Structure 1
Amino acid sequence: MSKPTLAERLTALDTAAELADGRIARADSERIRAVAQSGSSRRELSDEHTVVGFFGATGSGKSSLFNAIVGADVATTHVRRPTTSTPLAAVWQPDGSAALLDWLEVRDRSERTGGFDKQVGPLILLDLPDFDSVRSEHRDIAARLAAQVDVLVWVVDPEKYADAVIHRDFITPHSGHSAVTLAVLNKTDLLSASDQKAVADSFRDLLERDGLGKVKVLGASARTGDGVDAVRQQIAKVAKGRRAQLERIEADIDSATSEWADARVPSQPPRDAEKALTQALGQAAGVPAIAAAVGSSYRKRLGQRTGWLLTSWMLRFRADPLRRLGLREEADESGVHRSSMPKMSASGRAQANKGVRDYAARASADLSGGWAESVRERAESALPGLPEELDRAVARTRLQARVSWGWSIVTVLQWVALLAALVGVGWYLLLWLMGSFGFGLPFLTPEVPTVEGWQVPTLLVAGGILLGILLGLLSAAFGGVAGAVRRTRARRRLLRQVNATAREEIVEPVREERERWRGFVEAVKLARRR
């Protein structure tokens, strides 16, 4: 895989800033965006000039050292605070530097003739306001330019080299820029040789504690000129390779994204997480009770149609379990399935809430803190409207508790059996009437036919009753099995609709949030790749 260009890395960083908006600390996202914008702006300007900024506290002799290195008294020096109120630029080979200095907002410019060093190309040295100035605008200028220059030169004096403001507010935030950082202990003429070493060692230890690693501390005295050439040589060494700009931008990228350097691209959520969510929402929506009602309704309707006619009529007085729940199988005149089910109970809401939160917790387990919270918020934002959505899911499910027309054959047989029994009873009743009122006349007392010794009316009565009961028992047994099948099918259909609702309201928003995290991590890794 080829290495990305700096332009591609900055574009990826800008993408990361957009994706991270609202998901990480605002200061972090603003810093990422600022680095992306600053790096892009710096690249569009002169890539020939190296910009070196001199930063220091009041009284550090920063401006005097700047003059000594420039070789002319171009920076105003004064014993009163603040020493420098606006940034000043000393420019070697100024052609093409105007736009860059405008971007840096440096108005005071001093063009230098000749070369800073024979091996160094176009160069800009900046003398900046004191970063511990009593005037906040001076500190703001120093802070802004500390984030824009290519090379940082920290100038301290023996009295303030350990000042907390220098280390906490300025050096530590740029601790990842050791490749483009120089540290100068100025006013060494005020110290003995042994004290110079002790103070320099102490300053170096503080810098390492700030995170700068192995940084060489240069001793110098702007008043006597001692060490000035060494500082000049170090500046030339950093600038002559013309990599300071690139190294500064890379250091900014690494610093801004360091928190997510080891972040992992997320895998898919556990497969059973969505299933568990669907089951929990199904329980909350009353899927088991509805499915059971479908099975019971089917058995009731089948019993009404195919049961023994002498008893099955009583089933009509038993409430239909499905209609008791306020559900209807058919769509209304507008084609919409409607429900008059009662609102979800408090326990149902609690169960739904728990299911959603459990799913969000599992789906965010492999994300960073801010993003995990965002996933949970996206999932839980669906909770207020979830009961109505689940009610719609139930209402649009085809429950299919109807008894098919094929069972009409059994109904016909039941009527045939009943008619046979009635014929037998009627036959005996007619025989009784004829025997009672026949006045002994032979032609009014006919002989009853038999089959295998059984009178035909008896066979009709017994056969009709037994056939009706047998058909009723068989259909009841089959109805129990078929009802269980209908219950299972109804549960499956209901859960399918509940799952569709869960996907739309919860799973998909969570997936989008996870994909946003994936894009952020991939963008950060691309931005950091060299």
Structure 2
Amino acid sequence: MSRHSQVRESSQLQRRLESLNTARELAEGVLPEQELQSVYDVLERAASRRSLSAEHTVVGFFGATGSGKSSLFNAVSGSELATAAARRPTTSAPLAGIWGEDGSGPLLDWLDVKERHTLPPVPGLADEHTGLVLLDLPDFDSTRVENREIVQRMVGMVDVLVWVLDPQKYADAAVHNDFLRPMASHGAVTLVVLNQVDKLSSADASAVMQSLEGILARDGLGQVRVLSASALTGDGVQTLRGAIRNVVVQREATTQRLAADVTRAATELARASGEGEARGIKGNAKARLASELSTAANVPVVVDAVQRSFKRESAKRTGWPVTRWLLRFRPDPLRRLNLGRDDTRPELSRTSLPPAGAPERARTDAAVRDFADDASTGAPGPWRAAIRGVARDGREQLPDALDQAIAGTDLKATKRPLWWVLFNTLQWLALLLAVGGLGWLGVLAVLGYFQMPVPEVPRTEGWPWPTLMVVGGVVLGIVLAISGRMLGGWAARVRASGAAKRLKAAVAAVAEQRIVEPVEVEITRLKAFNAALKAARSG
């Protein structure tokens, strides 16, 4: 493999690792912690392996008890390392054969391999400059728990996996279900060797090989190279050496191994998450949510109070002065709700609206739930639950936030129209005119009562001016009162309509902040997660 290709593959791997880490971070709090920890472990192992010798390829020999794994290790390595220790009839600790010792120390420290041996050149396999580490590992079906733990750990750490099977146990469910099938994504760095073929006839060996290849295909390892060998007779050993050497000299096993780890981790993360994108938030959904929350938050009650309060104040300002004082005995609807005051800071006050009862709470819950369900349509289960969860959390904050929003909305309650001033002025002038006429008539009556000379009063069309003044003042006051009531009713509806718009806008702003934005964040997070996962899986 050329240097340029190695750099390109390494760069691509780096991007995939970064994408996988991004997906992991985005999934925190959504997917099970166990799944995220598995991804984190992959990232940690990748970071550690990439920081160690890139000039060495670590090849691990894995097998069950009686498979002849250690004997095959010896045959391939041209040594007797695996059987040198008579104190252990089976392998109980990793053992390393090394070609190219420089730089291998930290790598073997990371692998926690304590028994290390530098070996002489082996034709067709390696020399002192090759950069190869062969590991003989404990049996994966060992009854000792620590041995199985070593195998499980090494399966996740070595660059190349060589599975040594024997004719008696090649179809054993333990090796296929526990090891080979879960590593289906690692076919590029996996070799399968059917050992002890010397115990079979040529026909039987061919049948067993075909059977083994069929089982591997069902495991998802149909592209894996399957070899036959005999550690006893040496058949196939040189072929196995050549297969290992090819992997080593290409210098891509480490990258392929880590890439396979990323693929597997991303696939498992995708399986835990599920496939799909959320439908997202539509404008009509936001409008429905705001409308339902407005009703549940008693906005219609406030709007009605604005209209009635304006009509009351209008009657006080434009009604007949003789009777308008009676309106003082009718309480202001807005003040009863602790609204429309100009002597407090609305954003710090609270309304006196009735607390939400069971129907209002149910309506609010249904509105938030329907909104979240609509926005999360199409999202995988865990993400849909997360979207619903943030909407539910926002729902708990709504009552106080909505009350504060209503209290802080400018209802224009203290704004006085100019026509009130005009009507009020005319009403007082009409009253003064009527009172003046009454006074004039009163003076005339007193003079007549005391038999004093009564001056002639001016007349118009035969009507005395004092009488015209009284009648005109009263009629004008009544006409102004009726006109003011009609105009006040129309203006009250306009004022209420404006207040309704502002109140609904305030409620919509609360819904946006407490419900819509958190839901949008989760939907965006799901999109980013899917994009990162796709980038991590694409190799």
- Tell me the TM-score normalised to structure 1 length: 0.90
2:368 is the alignment partner of 1:342: no
Aligned partner of 1:387 among 374, 378, 399: 399
Amino acid at match of 1:345: G
Deviation at residue 130 of structure 1 after TM alignment: 1.6
Amino acid at match of 2:121: G
Task: Note closer, same or farther for the CA distance 1:465–1:528 as it changes in structure 2 (3 Å cut).
Answer: same
Give the 5 Å matches for 1:50-61. Answer: 50-61=57-68
Match of 1:274 in 2: 286
Give the 5 Å matches for 1:117-156. Answer: 117=124, 121-156=130-165
Partner Cα separation in structure 2 for residue 295 and residue 76 of structure 1: 99
2:505 is the alignment partner of 1:493: no
Q: Secondary structure at the match of 2:348?
A: coil
Match of 1:175 in 2: 184
Tell me if structure 1 keeps the 8 A contact 2:298–2:353: no
Partner Cα separation in structure 2 for residue 77 and residue 207 of structure 1: 33
2:437 is the alignment partner of 1:424: yes
Structure 1 gap ranges (5+): none
Give the 5 Å matches for 1:295-310. Answer: 295-310=307-322
2:323 is the alignment partner of 1:314: no
Amino acid at match of 1:293: A
Deviation at residue 391 of structure 1 after TM alignment: 1.5
2:109 is the alignment partner of 1:102: yes
Q: Deviations over 1:441-460 (max 9, x none)?
A: 6x22x333222343323322
Match of 2:78 in 1: 71
Deviation at residue 378 of structure 1 after TM alignment: 1.9
Task: Note closer, same or farther for the CA distance 1:99–1:266 as it changes in structure 2 (3 Å cut).
Answer: farther
Tell me if structure 2 keeps the 8 A contact 1:82–1:130: no
Tell me if structure 1 keeps the 8 A contact 2:213–2:222: no
Q: Secondary structure at the match of 1:319?
A: coil
Amino acid at match of 2:500: R
Partner Cα separation in structure 1 for residue 484 and residue 248 of structure 2: 96
Task: Note closer, same or farther for the CA distance 1:79–1:466 as it changes in structure 2 (3 Å cut).
Answer: farther
Deviation at residue 106 of structure 1 after TM alignment: 1.1
Deviation at residue 146 of structure 1 after TM alignment: 0.8
Aligned partner of 1:35 among 34, 42, 54: 42
The more displaced of 5-14 and 204-213 is 5-14
| Alpha-carbon RMSD | 2.8
Q: Deviations over 1:465-521 (max 9, x none)?
A: 222222222222222222222212222222333233333333333333334334433
Match of 1:452 in 2: 461
Match of 1:412 in 2: 425
Partner Cα separation in structure 1 for residue 433 and residue 154 of structure 2: 108
Partner Cα separation in structure 2 for residue 352 and residue 79 of structure 1: 77
Deviation at residue 335 of structure 1 after TM alignment: 8.0
Structure 2 gap ranges (5+): 1-7
Match of 1:18 in 2: 25
2:161 is the alignment partner of 1:161: no
Task: Note closer, same or farther for the CA distance 1:276–1:213 as it changes in structure 2 (3 Å cut).
Answer: farther
Tell me if structure 2 keeps the 8 A contact 1:9–1:527: yes
2:99 is the alignment partner of 1:86: no
Task: Note closer, same or farther for the CA distance 1:78–1:62 as it changes in structure 2 (3 Å cut).
Answer: farther
Deviation at residue 197 of structure 1 after TM alignment: 2.4
Deviation at residue 116 of structure 1 after TM alignment: 5.7
Q: Secondary structure at the match of 1:309?
A: coil
Deviation at residue 24 of structure 1 after TM alignment: 1.4
Aligned partner of 2:521 among 508, 512, 518: 512
Tell me if structure 2 keeps the 8 A contact 1:56–1:130: yes
Task: Note closer, same or farther for the CA distance 1:274–1:76 as it changes in structure 2 (3 Å cut).
Answer: farther
Deviation at residue 325 of structure 1 after TM alignment: 2.3
Task: Note closer, same or farther for the CA distance 1:44–1:335 as it changes in structure 2 (3 Å cut).
Answer: closer
Partner Cα separation in structure 1 for residue 290 and residue 80 of structure 2: 77
Task: Note closer, same or farther for the CA distance 1:42–1:324 as it changes in structure 2 (3 Å cut).
Answer: same
Task: Note closer, same or farther for the CA distance 1:80–1:343 as it changes in structure 2 (3 Å cut).
Answer: farther
Amino acid at match of 1:398: D
Amino acid at match of 2:326: M
- Tell me the TM-score normalised to structure 2 length: 0.89
The more displaced of 78-87 and 90-99 is 78-87
Task: Note closer, same or farther for the CA distance 1:477–1:525 as it changes in structure 2 (3 Å cut).
Answer: same
Tell me if structure 2 keeps the 8 A contact 1:422–1:461: yes
Q: Deviations over 1:413-441 (max 9, x none)?
A: 11111222233344444444544x254x6
Deviation at residue 47 of structure 1 after TM alignment: 0.7
Partner Cα separation in structure 2 for residue 108 and residue 488 of structure 1: 86
Tell me if structure 1 keeps the 8 A contact 2:279–2:375: no
2:410 is the alignment partner of 1:398: yes
Partner Cα separation in structure 2 for residue 334 and residue 274 of structure 1: 26
Give the 5 Å matches for 1:190-209. Answer: 190-209=199-218
Partner Cα separation in structure 2 for residue 463 and residue 494 of structure 1: 44
Deviation at residue 144 of structure 1 after TM alignment: 1.2
Deviation at residue 269 of structure 1 after TM alignment: 2.6
Q: Secondary structure at the match of 1:145?
A: helix
Tell me if structure 2 keeps the 8 A contact 1:303–1:475: yes
Identity of aligned residues (%): 46
Task: Note closer, same or farther for the CA distance 1:253–1:434 as it changes in structure 2 (3 Å cut).
Answer: same
Match of 1:243 in 2: 252
The count of residues paired between Structure 1 and Structure 2 equals 525
Partner Cα separation in structure 2 for residue 199 and residue 518 of structure 1: 48
Task: Note closer, same or farther for the CA distance 1:280–1:81 as it changes in structure 2 (3 Å cut).
Answer: farther
Tell me if structure 2 keeps the 8 A contact 1:55–1:154: yes
Partner Cα separation in structure 2 for residue 342 and residue 294 of structure 1: 16
Deviation at residue 12 of structure 1 after TM alignment: 3.1
Match of 2:240 in 1: 231
Partner Cα separation in structure 1 for residue 89 and residue 353 of structure 2: 77
Deviation at residue 348 of structure 1 after TM alignment: 1.8
Tell me if structure 1 keeps the 8 A contact 2:63–2:163: yes
Q: Deviations over 1:312-349 (max 9, x none)?
A: 33332222211222334325389833433332222222
The more displaced of 520-529 and 173-182 is 520-529
Match of 2:3 in 1: none
Tell me if structure 1 keeps the 8 A contact 2:395–2:515: no
Match of 1:468 in 2: 477
Partner Cα separation in structure 2 for residue 253 and residue 82 of structure 1: 37
Partner Cα separation in structure 2 for residue 519 and residue 410 of structure 1: 64
Tell me if structure 2 keeps the 8 A contact 1:302–1:403: no
2:335 is the alignment partner of 1:323: yes
